[in-house]
Amino acid sequence: MPVPGIPVPDPSGGSPVKPILRPSRVSTMAARRPSDADTAAPLKPIVEPFPRQVNLKGLEHLAWVMDRAVRIPGTKVSVGLDALLGLLPVGGDVLTGLVQVGIVLVALFRYRVPRSVAARMAANVLIDVLVGAVPLLGDLFDVAFKANTRNVQLLREVQEQRQVQEQRQVQEAASSRPSNLFLVALAALLVIVLGLVLIGFITVVGWMLGRPLI
């Protein structure tokens, strides 16, 4: 029986026939064995998840200071700087109105709230400033209305909805972002109202002093 790898002599006396080398089973299995690179799982695209938590502690603390910092003893009614500064004739309402406008602008430019929510926040500011300018009645209204707390709560609700809907809400937010013209118009409206209130305050002070100041 011929042995693989050893030349077999030709019976006719010619040159020995070259043997046919058969690959071993081990070498065949090694050749067919896939490498680690072939069996590695394909790389998945990295998808940036929507942020699950948005830090609103700064705005919430500001709303607490403005609306609920001090509780009236013996009652469940709490007041803040908004009501205390509102005791100043008109000028106090201008100062608190600036804080309220700042919260609305932060919600618009940083958190990109939808237009409907931005309109509700602006309406809260206008109502608080206009009614708050009325002596005594405005102070009582500030205690009950709490515009800063209302606006931060609206912002909190928007963020909670975005957290639930995650990626779908990210796509919808792109179409609901307010345009630059809308932002400018809303900010201008708030500034004009505050300016009118300030002019009224200067006029009242001038009338009390007996001569116009403007």
CA distance 139 to 144: 9
* Residue 190 pLDDT grade (very low, low, confident, very high; cuts 50, 70, 90): confident
Mean pLDDT for all residues in the chain: 75
Share of the chain above pLDDT 70, in %: 65
pLDDT in the model for residue 132: 83
CA distance 133 to 113: 28
Written as one letter, the residue type at 87 is L
| Contacts (Cβ under 8 Å, ≥6 apart) of 113 | 107, 121, 154, 155, 158, 178
Top pLDDT among 55 and 67 is at 67
CA distance 179 to 189: 16
Tokens of 138: 């405005």
Domain parsing of the chain, residue ranges:
57-209
Top pLDDT among 2 and 106 is at 106
At 80-108, the pLDDT tens digits run 999 888 888 767 888 888 899 999 999 98
| Contacts (Cβ under 8 Å, ≥6 apart) of 19 | 2, 4, 5, 6, 7, 8
* Residue 148 pLDDT grade (very low, low, confident, very high; cuts 50, 70, 90): very high
pLDDT higher than 90, residue 67 = yes
